[in-house]
Chain A
Amino acid sequence: MNDTTLTTNNRYHASSGIWSYWLGMLVLTLGLAGLAITGEADKLSMGTPFIELLSYKLTGYANVLLAAATVVYIAHLWFTKPAVGKWASGLATAGAVGLLVALLTRWFESHQILEEGHVPISNLYEVSIFFTALTTVIYLVLESFSRNRHPGAFVMPIVIMAIVFELWLVSKGNAGPQNLVPALKSYWMHAHVLANFIGYGAFAVACGGGVMYLVRHRAEAQGRTDGMVMRVLPSLTEADTLMYRAIAIGFITFTIATILGAAWAYDAWGGYWSWDPKETWSLIVWITYAIYLHLRFVKGWAGTRMAWWAILGFGVTLFCFIGVNMFLSGLHSYGQVS
């Protein structure tokens, strides 16, 4: 029996362990959030400034951890000892947990410093943190199945870009908890946003996989047999699988998210589809990945063209996520940057 078979078998049997590990992380997140909230409870009052909030500081620390994870992931390309990879994953996990703790804390804080608190997924800053956390988690889950920690060097830079965007929003003064406009007060919102950001996060991971594929493909086309790329990067097939898996998860959740959004619009605006810019762009994102799946399922396409498609798809996704709010006007006015 050869090596590849062995790793595949391990993967098959390890899955229950992986899920209990992530369940443990969830419990840890909730526990830490509980601690943070109890610690801060009596220091808050109506109108406490944003920069004095514990959630703001926690976000900062978590972002530092994620930046460190990125550095270690990149270093891991050259320093291939498994320990380095484990450190990278550990830092990334700590960072993601930190961000989720920060969001849970912010949820509590919003109830203390606003007249009506709300789940912190209602402005561009909050959803950017959510995106950062979810992208990291989705990548780490896929990583724990593939047991290869090198793709992190390609996915984490996207996380860093999201962090830079968050910092920019802070500098523009668009980061504090805000009151909700009446249309956002709906239970649909929570499910809609959650599903949406699992989708966005998965598409981000696919984009990282696409870049990694192209790097390896270039090295192979140049006829290299040794060197960092050939030694550490996953094979083209594995990179392609990572892309596909991420897009498959993303496409299903994004479809659900769009349907939930339509259901919400049906209750709030009087119609499930209004050709509002955000809706329209989510349709464009959906079509982009629908084409990807068609080419793969029907034409059996894989490889370079599909890697480019995954990268392009994420570009479209980013415009839907951020661009629409910044450049186009419409009913999704929650995320205007002033």
Chain B
Amino acid sequence: MAIDTQKPSHPEGASNNVLVRLVRLLSSMPVAVSLLCLVALASMIGTILVQNREEDFYIANLGPTWYKILNALDFFDMYGSWWFITIMGLLVLSVSSALLRHGPRFWHMSRPMQAMRPWPKKSDGSFTINSPLASDPEATETLLRRLGFSEFRHREDHGKPLLLARQGRFSKFGFFLVHGGVVLICIGGLITSQLGFRGVMNLPEHDSDNRVYVADGNKYRTLQLPFQVRNDDFDISFYKTGMPSEYSSQLTLHQDSKDIVSKRITVNDPLRYQGITFYQASFGDAGSGVEFTIRDLSEKGFPEQKVKTEVNKVLEDGMGLKLTIKELRQHNVMNMSQEEGKTKLSDVGPSLDIHLSSPSSGNLTYRVYMSYPHMLAFGRTGASEMTYDDLGFSPADTLRMELLGAYLDEVSKIEGERGPDQNRAAFAAAMKSLDLPISRAAELGPSIAIAEQVLRKHKLPMLFSFTGFDPKMYTGLQVARDPGSPLVWSACALLVIGLYMMIYMHEKRVWIRFNKEQQQLEVCALLSGKDKHPLNSTLAHLQQELSAPTNTTS
């Protein structure tokens, strides 16, 4: 029998080939570990420095100098910056180099054992043991087979039988799967970033559109889909706390007047069509119709004006007064419990936020509750919380508002001391000016007195009452084309399988020399790789089995 005494070909000899040297450098452990550390550190920066915000935000927080420096280095769109991509690219090159460098050797290892290798000069573990199997190589082979060894070679060595057994022939495939997987995941990501897109589309109910807005740093570019998307219906449900519990949209894709596909999408259930996916991402107000009345407190008699407009509209009177219709809320859940620490949630119904800005009274935001028109809620610019008060009656209550206006008008005419008598006289005059019988004074008087206190306290320029609305919502869609994803998912599967193989499967080789005279076995073993731990339990097990074989075959 021919003995293969040739040393395993060592691929690490000196080479003058630049490419070979480059591959060796890139795949070397210091370079690989440094690149991994660099990716980790750079990624860390991106989580601390908020990404892709507007310029003003950064200047306000960092100052103009730092903004300029960091912006020049693309730190605000870091994950897309040239230098981050370069580091990632180098990492992929390093992993690929490792595949190139070690691949041939590991491939070679996966071939069946060609010939008997001689007793190794240096082993990873050896022992000599008294064994009943000392004269029976065949039975030893059976035993080793039971322990997971699959390849065997027998020969004579100095007159004694020698057995070589091997297991884990394909174990190094784990290396290919893991490192190949990582490279493929990165390639998948690259494909997606080059050929795919990810944008948003806000579609009001019953509207149809094909424009997608794709973020490009902190700007947007428009992209046209080859078909139209129609929002047939948007639906939202709430928890009792007022938090949205689920929202969904009935989407239809159509070309001209022909419907292609239709589906109700929810947050975790998108619509996929021709590689383009539509995700339910958000929702918002698309200009709901609202009706409210305005009482101008700066004018005599507090005249009423009825307004019918839409959310997000701005109303101007041409004299510097500006009303912005901010937000319509259909549910307002408040804790109505009087006891500390207890909660008793109750929905107080719809509200409308109106922002008022005028040269004389500055900026003010009102929150007007439809079911509680007498409640005043407003916040001055800069105040963190809203101020709440109770007017006692609705600003839409024409009788009382006009009476209040007339009364304040009379009060303003009082000269000198103002006491209860003067108040009563002013109130009587106000009643008279509105042709109200004095018999109603007892009914109307107290509420007017309270309302006067409230108005004087807060000095509000206007009062509103919210009378009606017709909701119109848009559905916020995330639209993405992700051609790299199939590759990424398959690569992930390879990665996990490969990891399992790398950690739990090893190539183990065992030599056993049979010493018939002394009833002894000489055993030595080799494990591929630097980490020799996995060999310990195999050797211990082998030791036990060889000294006292358990008979499982009979």
Binding site for B on A (CB under 8 A): 1, 4-5, 8-9, 11-12, 47, 49, 115-116, 179-183, 185-186, 188, 241, 244, 248, 251-252, 255-256, 259, 262-264, 266-273, 275, 277, 280-281, 283-284, 287-288, 290-291, 293-300, 324, 328-330
User: Chain A residues with Cβ under 8 A from B485's Cβ?
Assistant: 266, 272
B247 interface hit (Cβ, 8 Å)? yes
**Contacts A12-B541, A269-B478, A277-B47 given: A294-B246 contact, CB under 8 Å?**
no
Q: Is the pair B247, A182 in contact by a Cβ cutoff of 8 Å?
A: yes
CA distance A111 to B270 in the complex (A): 27
From B198, which residue of chain A is reached at the shortest CB distance?
A271
User: Chain A residues with Cβ under 8 A from B478's Cβ?
Assistant: 269-270
B260 interface hit (Cβ, 8 Å)? no
Q: Is the pair B268, A9 in contact by a Cβ cutoff of 8 Å?
A: no
CA distance A150 to B268 in the complex (A): 46
**Contacts A1-B543, A270-B281, A275-B51 given: A287-B500 contact, CB under 8 Å?**
no
B46 interface hit (Cβ, 8 Å)? yes
From A330, which residue of chain B is reached at the shortest CB distance?
B47
Q: Is the pair A288, B239 in contact by a Cβ cutoff of 8 Å?
A: no
User: Chain A residues with Cβ under 8 A from B198's Cβ?
Assistant: 270-271
Q: Is the pair B245, A288 in contact by a Cβ cutoff of 8 Å?
A: no
Query: Nearest chain A CB to B436's CB is how many angstroms away?
Result: 48
Query: Nearest chain A CB to B478's CB is how many angstroms away?
Result: 4
Query: Nearest chain A CB to B365's CB is how many angstroms away?
Result: 24
From A7, which residue of chain B is reached at the shortest CB distance?
B540
Binding site for A on B (CB under 8 A): 29, 32-33, 36-37, 39-40, 43-44, 46-48, 50-51, 79, 189, 198, 239-241, 243-247, 266-270, 277, 279, 281, 342-343, 478-480, 482, 485, 488-489, 492, 495-496, 499-500, 502-504, 529-533, 536-537, 540-541, 543-544, 547
19 other contacts beyond A270-B270, A288-B40, with CB at 8 A cut-off?
A1-B543, A8-B540, A49-B342, A115-B245, A182-B246, A251-B499, A255-B495, A268-B268, A269-B281, A271-B482, A275-B43, A275-B46, A281-B47, A284-B43, A295-B33, A296-B530, A297-B502, A300-B532, A329-B50
Other-chain residue from B244, B531, B533 in contact with A182 (beta carbon distance below 8 A):
B244
CA distance A288 to B37 in the complex (A): 8
CA distance A275 to B88 in the complex (A): 14
CA distance A65 to B38 in the complex (A): 43
User: Chain A residues with Cβ under 8 A from B239's Cβ?
Assistant: 115-116, 179
Q: Is the pair B480, A270 in contact by a Cβ cutoff of 8 Å?
A: yes
Q: Is the pair A297, B33 in contact by a Cβ cutoff of 8 Å?
A: no
**Contacts A11-B537, A270-B281, A287-B36 given: A185-B43 contact, CB under 8 Å?**
no
Q: Is the pair A259, B492 in contact by a Cβ cutoff of 8 Å?
A: yes
From B196, which residue of chain A is reached at the shortest CB distance?
A271
Q: Is the pair A1, B547 in contact by a Cβ cutoff of 8 Å?
A: yes
**Contacts A271-B198, A275-B79, A288-B40 given: A185-B268 contact, CB under 8 Å?**
yes
User: Chain B residues with Cβ under 8 A from A115's Cβ?
Assistant: 239-240, 245
CA distance A39 to B267 in the complex (A): 36
Q: Is the pair B268, A267 in contact by a Cβ cutoff of 8 Å?
A: yes
Most B CB within 10 A of own CB, among A244, A268, A293, A294: A268
Q: Is the pair B531, A183 in contact by a Cβ cutoff of 8 Å?
A: no
User: Chain B residues with Cβ under 8 A from A287's Cβ?
Assistant: 36-37, 39-40
User: Chain B residues with Cβ under 8 A from A182's Cβ?
Assistant: 244-247, 266-268
From A263, which residue of chain B is reached at the shortest CB distance?
B489
Q: Identify whether the interface residues of A are mostly helix, strand, loop, or mixed.
A: helix
Query: Nearest chain A CB to B105's CB is how many angstroms away?
Result: 13
User: Chain B residues with Cβ under 8 A from A283's Cβ?
Assistant: 39-40, 43
From B84, which residue of chain A is reached at the shortest CB distance?
A275
From A278, which residue of chain B is reached at the shortest CB distance?
B47
CA distance A288 to B48 in the complex (A): 18
Q: Is the pair A252, B499 in contact by a Cβ cutoff of 8 Å?
A: yes
CA distance A284 to B40 in the complex (A): 5
Q: Is the pair B500, A252 in contact by a Cβ cutoff of 8 Å?
A: yes
Can you list 29 A-B contacts (CB < 8 A)? A9-B544, A12-B540, A116-B245, A179-B239, A181-B243, A181-B244, A182-B245, A182-B246, A182-B247, A185-B268, A241-B533, A264-B268, A266-B482, A267-B269, A268-B267, A270-B270, A270-B279, A271-B480, A275-B79, A280-B43, A280-B44, A287-B36, A288-B40, A294-B29, A294-B32, A294-B33, A295-B29, A297-B502, A300-B532
Q: Is the pair A291, B37 in contact by a Cβ cutoff of 8 Å?
A: yes
Q: Which A-B residue pairs are the 7 nearest by beta carbons?
A: A300-B530, A270-B478, A8-B540, A182-B267, A277-B47, A270-B279, A186-B268
Q: Is the pair A185, B267 in contact by a Cβ cutoff of 8 Å?
A: yes
Most A CB within 10 A of own CB, among B37, B79, B245, B266: B245
CA distance A324 to B504 in the complex (A): 32
CA distance A115 to B241 in the complex (A): 10
User: Chain A residues with Cβ under 8 A from B543's Cβ?
Assistant: 1, 5
Query: Nearest chain A CB to B213's CB is how many angstroms away?
Result: 13
From A179, which residue of chain B is reached at the shortest CB distance?
B239
CA distance A256 to B547 in the complex (A): 42
**Contacts A182-B247, A287-B40 given: A268-B51 contact, CB under 8 Å?**
no
User: Chain B residues with Cβ under 8 A from A293's Cβ?
Assistant: 503
Q: Is the pair A299, B29 in contact by a Cβ cutoff of 8 Å?
A: yes
Q: Is the pair B544, A255 in contact by a Cβ cutoff of 8 Å?
A: no
Q: Is the pair B47, A5 in contact by a Cβ cutoff of 8 Å?
A: no
From A116, which residue of chain B is reached at the shortest CB distance?
B245
User: Chain A residues with Cβ under 8 A from B503's Cβ?
Assistant: 248, 251-252, 293
CA distance A301 to B108 in the complex (A): 26
Query: Nearest chain B CB to A263's CB is how many angstroms away?
Result: 8
User: Chain A residues with Cβ under 8 A from B279's Cβ?
Assistant: 267-270
From B192, which residue of chain A is reached at the shortest CB distance?
A271
CA distance A49 to B404 in the complex (A): 47
CA distance A299 to B43 in the complex (A): 26
**Contacts A284-B40, A287-B39, A296-B530 given: A324-B267 contact, CB under 8 Å?**
no
From B43, which residue of chain A is reached at the shortest CB distance?
A280
CA distance A329 to B502 in the complex (A): 36
